[in-house]
Amino acid sequence: MVTIKSKKEIECMKEACKIVALMYQEIEKYIKPGISTWELDQIAEKAMKKFGGIPAQKGYPSGFKGVPNYPATTCISVNDEVIHGIPSKTKIIKEGDVVSIDTVALKDGFHGDAARTFLVGNVSKEAKRLVEVTKQAFFEGIQYAKPGNRIGDVCHAIGEYVHSQGYSVVREFQGHGIGRQMHEDPGIPNYGKAGRGIRLEPGMTLAIEPMVIQGKPNILELDDGWTIITEDGSLSAHYENTILITEKEPEILTILKK
């Protein structure tokens, strides 16, 4: 069921989303060669709590027998890791790495969700372009995030743009509605047909998140039950924001207003 948020609920959503944006502003200072992904996660958790949020991903159930609940505040995925990379003391960030971070904050019963991909030091032109295209794919999609349009219009725009740039979208994972629950209806894949799916209405809050692969779209899951990697070892990038459908243009809630 897709939930339409009241004015009060939207204000709560904005507070949760602001915490995520502030956390990214803080963590970006520390993403340098030599730091472990575990250290980055600790910095992220400390920042999130400082700004008044609860790390919603920590302890999140996998839903699969034998796979433990998610152990960290952030998912940190490096290079060929697509999503859900588990922070580790032994995973050290290096010059030239492509580092995707995904996190969710909970405040006053509502969630804010965003992902960013960071380039570490001197990276290849190919890596830069991948990250730029992934970010732009989000903005291509939300051009259609307006009342009366359908969710398929957003999905189609993302997929068509990514494919036009010579990249692949991840088909097994998708964006989602968000609010009191981290994952709500509707599902928002990064591909699809225009004119399909639910109609967008003011008050909907959506987490739209292009996950883009430099090579073929095939993915694999590691033995930890969480980490997803590209099958061919190619680079991947991730960009996500929580948005609000308004009467006119969509409002991005996880970017700080200047």
Does the pLDDT value for residue 203 go beyond 90? Answer: yes
| 65: enclosing H helix or E strand | none
Which pLDDT value is given to residue 35? 98
Which pLDDT value is given to residue 1? 86
Mean pLDDT confidence for 201-222: 98
Which pLDDT value is given to residue 258? 77
Query: Could you tell me if 135 and 240 are in contact, meaning their C-beta atoms sit under 8 angstroms apart?
Result: no
Q: What is the full DSSP assignment across 185-229?
A: EEEE-S---TT-SPBP-TT-EEEE--EEESS-S-EEE-TTSS-EE
Query: Confidence class of residue 251 from pLDDT cuts 50, 70 and 90?
Result: very high
| 34: enclosing H helix or E strand | none
Report pLDDT digits (tens) over 110-141. Answer: 999 999 999 999 999 999 999 999 999 999 99
Report pLDDT digits (tens) over 53-100. Answer: 999 999 999 988 999 999 999 999 999 999 999 999 999 999 999 999
Q: In what order do the strands lie in the sheet with 81-83?
A: 81-83, 228-230, 219-221
Please tell me whether the peptide bond between 186 and the residue prior to it is cis, using omega within 30 degrees of 0.
Answer: yes
Report pLDDT digits (tens) over 22-52. Answer: 999 999 999 999 999 999 999 999 999 999 9
Read off the pTM.
0.97
Which pLDDT value is given to residue 135? 98
Strand pairing of 98-107 and 74-78? antiparallel
Query: Confidence class of residue 257 from pLDDT cuts 50, 70 and 90?
Result: confident
Domains contained in the chain, CATH given: 7-252 (3.90.230.10)
Query: Confidence class of residue 180 from pLDDT cuts 50, 70 and 90?
Result: very high
CA–CA separation, 105 and 80 (whole Å) = 26
Which pLDDT value is given to residue 181? 98
Tokens of 56: 């919603």
Average pLDDT value for the chain: 97
Does the pLDDT value for residue 255 go beyond 80? Answer: yes
